[in-house]
Amino acid sequence: MQHKILAWPRAVKRLVVVAMDVVLSLLATWLAFTLRLDNPNWPDEMQLRVYVLAPLLAIPVFVRLGLYRAIFRYTGQAALLTTAKAVAIYGVLLLGVLLWARWTNVPRSMGVLQPLIFLLLVGGSRALARFWLAGWGRTHAGRSRFLIYGAGLAGAQTAAALGMSGQHELVGFVDDDTAKIGRSINGVPVHASRDIAALVEREGITDILLALPSVTRERRNRIIESLRHLPLHIRTLPGMSDLTSGRVTVQDFRELDIEDLLGRDPVPPDAELLARDLSRMVVLVTGAGGSIGSELCRQILRQQPSRLLLLDHSEFALYSIHQELLAACAELGGAIELVPLLGSVNQEARLHEICRQYLPHTVYHAAAYKHVPLVESNPAEGIRNNVFGTLNMARAAQAAGVARFVLVSTDKAVRPTNVMGASKRMAELVLQALAAEAGQTCFSMVRFGNVLGSSGSVVPLFRRQLAAGGPLTVTHAEVTRYFMTIPEAAQLVLQAGAMAGGGEVFVLDMGEPVRILDLAHRMVELSGLTVRDHEHPQGDIEIAITGLRPGEKLYEELLIGDNPTPTGHPRIMKAHEDLLPWQELAGQLERLRIAADGADEQGIRRVLQACVHGYGAHTS
């Protein structure tokens, strides 16, 4: 029945609601006369005028205040308040008419009593329609049974959103606050967190929502870890900064990201450091459409540069980030000029043209090929882009008098076993050698590990494999990696670059390394599923060991030396790296260029072995 009504044309549904309100106004008038006169009302001629007047006054007011534009099954507190406002206006009009007309046998108190009864009838009808159309009264079979972790404001809003959706059955709240335990919110009990396991078994709970938008990441991690062993699908709300509307809807619920387990509470950025080379400056970001480059652009935009230059060789990636930043500019209300620039770092003439025309103050060089197996299979292209692309950009920056040049580097540059890592270390050597020469441009490098969610990262790969039903592919049971969130990495890159005096290799504190096999297990369990293996043949998702890929290491390192120097930021250190003087490096670069142009893979590897510490040792 509900489906048939919902399929009616909107005009028909509005007419039905108007007709219902006319009937309710007549009913409210009859009840008001009956209660006031203490007898069932059989209206005389004067009293009939009130029966006619009530809908003639009420319906235009309701139309004017938009009551017939609301969708009943989605109405909530705001719609009920609007209804009360409309009835109040109607009541004032009705009372005014009755006081002015002074009809016989019509008590003046009807101007107060009738609107009160009318409000109860209209509000009740809206609530009943909402619950009925949302599916209340239907069987609970097939509906998810939820707990909400967090009995605060966000939890109460979450419960209201669930009630409106009609697709979920809320069994209870869970909270750690002893003052809330044993109480109820809108009739739903609040339980202690220690009782979750018993509730899951007794009540058949299938899902739990974390309505904890303001807790620290460390606290969230502990809560999630305590739930891992339970057969629950865990979802969460976004952080407080994302709940700008002040209301929670079912669409706000998101799958639990692995960031909730791997990420850390970020150290608040140093506002002075962030703004130093960005505020009111012309800034160029290469690789602006990539995962790191695009986040650098978002962070830079908040510092209000005068002009932000976006360079990328991918038309689609450049278009996407440009459109996103245009929208962000409109929200910020600043007069920031965004310049999308199509071009490759392999086109040296194009880079010189850009730098001459726009005269950037700061360059963040994030353009790179970073996928280890792909670069291993295409070493010449990896060298052209990562090594000579960096050299081209650096020379163009020097020629234009750029003040600061920051290279986004990687932990894979440390004792690399693959061409990608070796090419990034060669790029570092290029900048170190240029920094050692007297010049106006301050060159620096920032080295960090994997970022969660970047293109090529294992986390989005695991998400896709989970959605497809598995298996999750892990290259080796003991492979480990460092992880950091993209926003934190981008902020630290900007701050590290501002600290540079010339030639430094900065290293970001990535926390503890994570075993990828453990990561796979966590992602399966946090989806409410089980791992299928020899001990659990009935599990949901298999984890397959596929073997190390060409050039892949078991363990990543962040430093070559063992004595990093601390900086003024607790998450940024300074590495002490050997360098090659430009006179020596220039000859090796020429040999590397000849080898790359001739697709001479052995020649490429010989130069890399000669220049890059650890490359060619084939150790893991």
What token pair was written down for 185?
């919110």
DSSP result, 340-386: EEE--TT-HHHHHHHHHHH--SEEEE------HHHHHH-HHHHHIII
Residues 207 and 256: beta-carbon distance below 8 Å: no
* Residues 288, 313: Cα–Cα separation, whole Å: 9
CA angle at 551 for the pair 479 and 458, rounded to the nearest 5°: 45
Q: Is 180 designated active site?
A: no
> For residue 132, how many C-alpha atoms fall within 13 Å in the half-sphere facing its CB?
11
Pairing verdict, β 505-508 and 572-575: antiparallel
Cβ atoms of residues 472 and 466 within 8 Å: yes
Identity of the residue numbered 406: V
Q: Tell me how far apart the alpha carbons of residues 1 and 614 are, in angstroms, rounded to a whole number.
A: 72
Question: Tokens in use for 479?
Answer: 């492979």
Quick one: CA torsion of 403, 298, 271, 266, rounded to 10 degrees? -120
Per the DSSP assignment, residues forming a β-bridge with 341 are 311
CB 543 within 8 A of CB 535: no
Positive or negative torsion for Cα 586, 592, 594, 596: negative
C-alpha distances in angstroms, 152 versus 148, 188, 270? 10, 13, 32
What are the residues whose beta carbons fall under 8 Å from the beta carbon of 616, sequence distance 6 or more? 605, 608, 609
Tally the C-alpha atoms within 13 A of residue 152's C-alpha that lie toward its C-beta: 10
Backbone angles phi, psi at 168, to 5 degrees: -135, 150
Catalytic residue, candidates 370, 412, 424, 553: 412
* Residue 71 token pair: 């969708």
Peptide bond into 471 cis (omega under 30): yes
- At 205, phi and psi to the nearest 5? -65, 135
Q: Tell me which residue of 258, 237, 217 sits closest to 461, measured CA to CA.
A: 258
Please give the Cα distance from 575 to 55 (Å, whole number). 80
Tell me how many degrees the CA angle 302-305-308 measures, rounded to the nearest 5. Answer: 100
Can you point out the beta strands (E) in 16-141?
none
Catalytic residue list: 412
